[in-house]
Amino acid sequence: MSIRKRIAAAVAVALSAVTPVSGHASEDVAVNELVTKPLQEFPGKEVLMITVTYAPGAADPVHRHDAHGFIYVLEGSIVMQVKGGKEVTLSPGDTFYEGPHDLHIIGRNASKTVPARFLVVLLKNTGAPVFTVE
């Protein structure tokens, strides 16, 4: 199965578990794969780069990536938190990191009127799912 199909399947499963946030349904989260690259110098590892767009009021379910995740906000503002960490509100140009053992407990658009878009770079095991819902 291609990485694009694996992402689509993982997102569909995760989003089916999300309840509406402030009147916005979970389908208001869009994921777009930009590139996947195996890392020959690190057998069994790959980099996946995606963009995520949150519609106004949209949110992710509680999940984990089992990867090193680097987030860079492109547009709007997002709220992020991993278990044991502080809740942070990020604006364009801000970054966030999630480790392979982190549980991502908050991921949502900070605005109920403006979309938010961010870039995610994941260093993960080759073929591993993008994320799993807890």
For residue range 95-111, what is the model confidence (pLDDT) as tens digits? Answer: 999 999 999 999 999 99
- E strand map for the chain: 29-38, 45-54, 63-64, 68-75, 78-82, 88-90, 95-98, 104-109, 116-125, 132-133
For residue range 8-34, what is the model confidence (pLDDT) as tens digits? Answer: 444 444 433 333 333 333 568 999 999
Confidence of residue 131 (pLDDT cuts 50, 70, 90): confident
> What mean pLDDT is reported for the chain?
84
Tell me the three state secondary structure of residue 71. strand
**Residue 27, pLDDT score:** 67
The predicted model gives 62-80 an average pLDDT of 96
CATH 2.60.120.10 matches 3-133: yes
**Residue 10, pLDDT score:** 47
Residue 9 Rama label (left phi>0; alpha psi -120 to 50; beta): alpha
Q: Residue 54: beta bridge partners? A: 29, 116
**Residue 22, pLDDT score:** 31
Percentage of the chain lying above the pLDDT 90 cut: 69
The pTM score is: 0.79
